[in-house]
Amino acid sequence: MDAIPTNALADHFVQAFEEATGATISDDRQWKLPFDRSDGLRRLDLLLHVQTEHQELDLAVELIKQGYPRDIRHTVWQLEEYLLSTERRDHTIPFVVAEYLSTGARASLRERNIGYFDSSGSLFLRKGDWLVNIDRAGKPKKSAQVGSIYTGAREQVVHALLHAGDKWLTGLEIAELAQTSSYTVSQTLQELERLEWTVSEGSGRNQRRRLVQPGKLLDAWAGSWRTRQETKTRWYMFAPNPQLAAPWLYNVFRNTKQDDWTATGAAAANVLSPLLTSVDTVDVIVPPGSAARYAKDLGLKEVAKGANVTLLERAGASMLFRHQADGHIWFASPFILYLDLLDDRGRNKELASEFRSNILKI
């Protein structure tokens, strides 16, 4: 186990075990104990010897830094291999000891009757007359990768999973939906599975995943969305009736020769989930570097105040799953519409809440 104080963690585990069971653990600790298997020599992280009133037991311990369902598979396999190798298997209790074990990892270990302990003080043990189940909330260390899944091609994978809802999908199917590589899908899913926001079944090319925590994923994406920097310019276009400005402006965009634009923001969301009486401005996503071209084609005038058109220069996830509706107008996907309402402008917060409930149903 790298970069964590193994001796201190082992001491913490020994103390907790002795207090919970009344047994005594010998000071003789066997670190990196070698054992033979058919595929070669292996090493158990730690073997401890326990003295009870009636018998001597061994604790076969594997130490890990943080444990999520995906991470503990190899650890469990290592413990099972050790049990197969020792003549004292009937007197040996396998244990996973970690700084942090997620709820899903704990459940998985309990199902396999493998003991566990983490630095929160959580302890599980079931052997003979012993049943110890101390469950305390732990706090994982922040992963350096978490923020990165909400940018670039990984963000497209996040969008695709939310779009798919609770469907089971293979990695290839997700890659096709996200319009990105299988490698990017794999890297993103690894992080989401560590967070226990997705589940999987099967293996290899036939392995399928399903999103089980869409609300948590959407909230995390929203948190990242609010902090992003983007090129945004504000323009004015004459509209005969300010109360009907949005549909009139959309019609102008629809009649342009360009077809790589997408309506977003309050006016677009209000079409799908009517709440506001009228919206007199429109937000439109256009490809990076194309705002000036659109402005020229449509006769827009750049202004500091009184704008009724905002051009947002974006690519990637913002353009996924756009669709035509309401007179062949291009609308962003419901998830992009929702995220763009989180800007605290006007009654957007109220509209966002209605939209999430009525349209996203999350």
SS3 for 249-315 is: HHHHHHCCCCCCCEEEHHHHHHHHCCCCCCCCCEEEEECCCCHHHHHHHHCCEECCCCCCEEEEECC
| Same domain flag for 108 and 28 | yes
| Same domain flag for 159 and 129 | no
Q: Which two tokens stand for residue 121?
A: 């003080």
CB-based contacts of 87, cutoff 8 Å, min separation 6: none
- For 321-344, the pLDDT digits (tens) are 999 886 678 999 999 999 999 987
Q: Which two tokens stand for residue 280?
A: 């007199």
Q: Where among 96, 112, 134 does a domain terminate?
A: 134
Q: Domain containing 290 — which CATH number? A: 3.30.460
Domain presence at residue 80:
yes
pLDDT at 141: 62
- The three-class DSSP label of residue 41 is strand
Q: In the Cβ-directed half-sphere of 331, how many Cα atoms lie within 13 Å?
A: 22
| Same domain flag for 211 and 240 | no
| Same domain flag for 81 and 11 | yes
The amino acid at 274: P
Strand 115-118 relative to strand 92-101: parallel, antiparallel, unpaired? Answer: parallel
Q: Percentage of the chain with pLDDT > 90? A: 69
CA distance 89 to 127: 12
| Same domain flag for 125 and 166 | no
Domain presence at residue 18:
yes
CA distance 132 to 13: 13
CB-based contacts of 13, cutoff 8 Å, min separation 6: 61, 95, 97, 117
Strand 169-170 relative to strand 198-201: parallel, antiparallel, unpaired? Answer: unpaired
Burial 19-54 (b: 16+ CB within 10 A, else e): eebebebeeebeeebebeeeeeeeebbbbbebeeee
pLDDT at 258: 81
CA distance 342 to 362: 16
CA distance 79 to 145: 29
Domain presence at residue 96:
yes
Instruction: Tell me which residue of 338, 344, 337, 343 sits closest to 322, measured CA to CA.
Output: 337
| Same domain flag for 122 and 19 | yes
Domain presence at residue 185:
yes
Q: Which residue's structure tokens are 């706090």? A: 139
| Same domain flag for 10 and 122 | yes
Range of the domain at 315: 231-360
pLDDT at 195: 86
How many domains are there within the chain?
3
pLDDT at 84: 95
Burial 159-193 (b: 16+ CB within 10 A, else e): bbbbbbeeeebbbebbbebbebeeebbebbbbbbb
Q: Which residue's structure tokens are 């609308």? A: 331
The mean predicted confidence, pLDDT, of the chain is 90
Domain presence at residue 140:
no
pLDDT at 144: 44
| Same domain flag for 251 and 220 | no
* Phi, psi (rounded to 5 degrees) for 234: -115, 140
Which alpha helices (H) appear in 34-170, and where do they start and end?
A: 72-85, 103-111, 152-164
Instruction: Tell me which residue of 289, 339, 337, 328 sits closest to 311, measured CA to CA.
Output: 289
Q: Where among 177, 193, 225 does a domain terminate?
A: 225
| Same domain flag for 199 and 251 | no
CA distance 64 to 244: 61
Q: Domain containing 176 — which CATH number? A: 1.10.10.10
| Same domain flag for 338 and 276 | yes
Domain presence at residue 1:
no
- Tens digit of pLDDT at every position of the chain (362 positions): 444 567 899 999 999 999 999 999 999 999 999 999 887 889 999 999 999 988 999 999 999 998 888 778 889 999 999 999 999 999 999 999 999 999 889 999 999 999 999 999 999 999 988 999 999 987 776 554 445 799 999 999 999 999 999 999 999 999 999 999 999 999 999 889 888 899 888 877 889 999 999 999 999 999 999 999 999 999 999 888 777 778 888 888 888 878 899 999 999 998 888 887 678 889 999 999 999 999 998 899 999 899 999 999 999 999 999 998 866 789 999 999 999 999 878 888 999 999 999 999 99
Using N-to-C axis directions, what is the helix angle for 265-272 and 348-355, rounded to 10°?
A: 40
Q: Which residues in the chain belong to E strands, given as ranges?
A: 24-25, 30-37, 40-51, 56-67, 92-101, 115-118, 123-127, 130-134, 169-170, 198-201, 208-211, 231-236, 262-264, 282-286, 301-302, 309-313, 323-325, 329-331
| Same domain flag for 184 and 127 | no
CA distance 156 to 180: 8
Q: Where among 194, 225, 256 does a domain terminate?
A: 225
Q: Domain containing 121 — which CATH number? A: 3.40.1350.10
